[in-house]
């Protein structure tokens, strides 16, 4: 096994390796201020120069991308999302098309230093998604010496990894679906005539559909061994979803590298036939981009947490989507050492069978503790925090990795309210929106 998952590690990176997540600190945000709004103000040109030198300035993300993503597309995806996308994808007037949204799956922003003023919790009795706040502390002001109350915060790493989007049939389902005739993959990176369609042209259905088809063919080229998808009626030995789950679980639990068993496999879903191979390779790219970034940004170690998709699994089911993620982990674990991973905490509340599969997937990472996510959040709450890893010695001093669970279409982390979703809860209570602010000059300074 080797440690480097992605070559050409950038020599210039956002601030990293400075913090730990198992201790709280006073933030520079006053007790009565909105955490998200105040964080956003620190990165806006009108106020940035007025900040005290000791105040925390949220850094831009390290954006970890698959090699086949055109770099101009990275900027479009990071800067041109609409303000909010709740249950919707492409709509007239938008700048990000459905297949561009699918391509965002291969573009993963990771925030190395993110402040959050509480630990995430889910409680249906209190509206569902929420944050258990740490509270405030009395501190001496750096400017005039007076004592004032500031919000307590925890430093975490936030991965804004984009979920495989099966909320409806227009994104990943369309990307990996077989059609009436064979689809030949095409590498747009080798096509000098290819360019991003401008916003005005995207409003024309014919132009947009042709453009989206070029992106779909690009994904097919890079995510299938044959660089093509066969016609729908030519597929033999078609799997159903249960057989697909069995195939993936067999792959996960078999000690040897047997990825060839997934090549050229297809499954029926929602009266469609989709490529198992494309979804497996998508999951591999997702995990590789994210873990490579975490390995670079967290030399002090990291505690990785994962919440399975729910809304974004609507058209495929969370069980099979979890198996794709676990199969990707197994594949990467067979080839690379996750040097700085200390703990993997999986939220198994709706998938109790996943824990044994996760242990199989990470069998070669003998230094990693595999546990349920709930086991990491048994603290008293409030000023003590819910996050508690005192019973896991190797987690001491490590960074907690959290996710905001978003799609590729809306800047929900900046606009959504507390109880709407995990994205809203994390966004409204942290500095994440400031790190991902669409207009900040340095947003694209660190693309890998």
- pLDDT per residue as tens digits for the range 162-200: 989 888 888 999 999 999 999 999 999 999 999 999 999
Q: What is the mean pLDDT of residues 112-127?
A: 86
Mean pLDDT computed over 337-353: 91
Q: Which residues contact 61 (CB under 8 A, 6 or more apart)?
A: 14, 109, 110, 111, 112, 160, 435, 436, 443, 446
How many structural domains is the chain composed of?
Answer: 1
Flag whether 140 is in a domain.
yes
Q: What percent of the chain has pLDDT over 90?
A: 72
pLDDT at position 53: 60
User: 49 vs 41, 53, 123, 143, CA distance in Å?
Assistant: 11, 9, 40, 15
Which among 423, 430, 303 is positioned nearest to 375, based on CA atoms? 303
State the residue for tokens 């098309």: 97
C-alpha–C-alpha distance, residues 130 and 435, integer Å: 21
Judge whether residue 118 has pLDDT over 80.
yes
Average pLDDT, the chain: 91
Closest CA to 268 of 219, 320, 312, 309: 320
Contact 160, 293 (CB under 8 A): no
* Model pLDDT, residue 166: 83
pLDDT of residue 267: 95
Within-domain flag for 202? no
23-68 confidence digits (pLDDT tens): 999 999 999 999 999 999 999 876 555 556 668 899 999 999 999 9
pLDDT bin (cut points 50, 70, 90) of residue 248 is very high
Residue 411: the pLDDT is 85
Assess if residue 320 is contained within a domain: yes
Domain assignment present for residue 192? The answer is no
Terminal-residue alpha carbon distance, the chain: 22
User: Is 0.85 surpassed by the pTM of this model?
Assistant: yes
Does a structural domain hold residue 56?
yes
Residue 318: the pLDDT is 84
Structural domain range at position 141: 25-167+238-435
- Per-residue pLDDT, 369: 97
Structure confidence at residue 47 (pLDDT): 55
Residue 63 lies in a domain: yes
In a domain, 232, yes or no: no
Alpha carbons 24 and 158: distance in angstroms, whole number: 16
The percentage of the chain sitting over the pLDDT mark of 70, rounded to a whole number, equals 94
333 by DSSP, 3-state: which? helix
The pLDDT value recorded for residue 305 is 96
In a domain, residue 286? The reply is: yes
């Amino acid at each position: 096994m080797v440690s480097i998952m992605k070559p050409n590690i950038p020599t210039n990176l956002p601030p990293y390796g400075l913090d730990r997540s198992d201790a709280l600190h006073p933030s520079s945000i006053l007790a009565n201020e909105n955490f998200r709004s105040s964080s956003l103000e620190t990165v806006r040109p009108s106020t940035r120069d007025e900040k005290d030198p000791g105040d925390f300035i949220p850094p831009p993300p390290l954006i970890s991308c698959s090699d086949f993503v055109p770099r101009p597309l990275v900027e479009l995806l990071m800067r041109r999302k609409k303000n909010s996308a709740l249950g919707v994808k492409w709509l007239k007037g938008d700048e990000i098309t459905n297949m561009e949204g699918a391509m965002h799956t291969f573009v993963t922003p990771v925030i190395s230093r993110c402040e959050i003023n509480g630990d995430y919790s889910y409680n249906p009795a209190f509206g569902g998604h929420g944050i258990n706040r740490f509270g405030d502390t009395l501190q001496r002001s750096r400017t005039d010496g007076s004592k004032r109350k500031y919000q307590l915060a925890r430093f975490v790493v936030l991965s804004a990894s984009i979920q495989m989007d099966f909320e409806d049939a227009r994104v990943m389902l369309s990307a990996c679906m077989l059609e009436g005739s064979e689809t030949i993959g095409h590498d747009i990176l080798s096509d000098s005539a290819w360019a991003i369609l401008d916003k005005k042209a995207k409003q024309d259905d014919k132009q947009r559909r042709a453009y989206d088809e070029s992106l779909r063919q690009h994904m097919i080229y890079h995510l299938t061994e044959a660089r093509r998808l066969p016609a729908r009626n030519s597929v033999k030995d078609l799997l159903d979803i249960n057989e697909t789950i069995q195939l993936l679980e067999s792959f996960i639990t078999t000690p040897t590298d047997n990825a060839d068993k997934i090549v050229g496999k297809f499954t029926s879903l929602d009266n469609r036939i989709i490529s198992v191979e494309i979804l497996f390779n998508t999951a591999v790219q997702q995990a590789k981009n994210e873990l490579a970034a975490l390995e670079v940004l967290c030399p002090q170690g990291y505690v990785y947490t994962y919440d399975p998709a729910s809304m974004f699994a609507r058209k495929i089911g969370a069980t099979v989507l979890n198996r794709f993620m676990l199969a990707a982990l197994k594949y990467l674990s067979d080839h690379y050492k996750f040097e700085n991973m200390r703990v993997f905490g999986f939220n198994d509340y709706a998938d109790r069978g996943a824990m044994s599969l996760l242990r199989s997937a990470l069998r070669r990472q003998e230094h990693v503790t595999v546990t349920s996510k709930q086991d990491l959040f048994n603290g008293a709450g409030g000023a003590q925090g819910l996050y508690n890893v005192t019973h896991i010695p190797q987690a001491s001093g490590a960074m907690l990795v959290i996710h905001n669970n978003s799609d590729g279409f809306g800047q929900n982390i900046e606009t959504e309210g507390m109880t709407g979703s995990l994205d809203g809860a994390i966004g409204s209570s942290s500095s994440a929106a400031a790190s991902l602010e669409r207009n900040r000059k340095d947003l694209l300074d660190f693309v890998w």
